[in-house]
Amino acid sequence: MTGDQRKRPAVWLFPLAVMVLIFWFSSQQGDDSSALSGAVTDFLYGLFRPLFPGMAPADFALALTWPVRKFAHMGEFTLLYLSFLTAFRFGSSMASPAGRTLVSLVSTGLYACSDEFHQLFVPGRAGRAADVAIDLVLPLCLSLILLFFPGKRRSRKEGSGECRGI
């Protein structure tokens, strides 16, 4: 077994770690989750207060709470998607870039569904189908870019020593 083959299973630790992180965030009760979002909103208020001199902190928080929470979810699931993409690229025998892209998107979508189901059992949280759609916005956009604008791919065999592509 070569060194490269021994390393392959390790690439699956990154998607696993991201899934554990998402599960941990989703396990926070509604009040705890709101407090974390509130801390981010307060930070943004301090950063952007000069742009909105007449806006009260409560109004700013009200305007930003929903976007902060949803962008956080999109970021988590984009990280999961990219980690799946990397794992399927380096930790599987799947040769097709399009196949890896689609399997990564489906895997991310299935985990997003399980995350919303999990939230049904967490006090103060709710599982919503619309949240699955929001979670998958950026992974879907990245998938479309990778599928329809694949760029030039070369293998190591073609001589550059550089491996390009997904």
Residue 154 in domain: no
In which residue ranges of the chain is pLDDT below 50? Answer: 1, 3
Which residues have CB under 8 Å from 116's CB, separation 6+? 127, 128, 129, 131, 132
12 belongs to a structural domain: no
Per-residue pLDDT reduced to its tens digit, 86-120? 999 998 888 889 999 999 999 999 999 999 999 99
How many folded domains does the chain comprise? 1
User: Is residue 74 situated within a structural domain?
Assistant: yes
Task: Look at residues 101, 103, 105, 106 and name the one whose alpha carbon lies nearest to residue 153.
Answer: 101
55 found inside a domain: yes
User: Does residue 161 fall inside a structural domain?
Assistant: no
Residue 90 lies inside a defined structural domain of this protein: yes
- pLDDT for the residue 123: 87
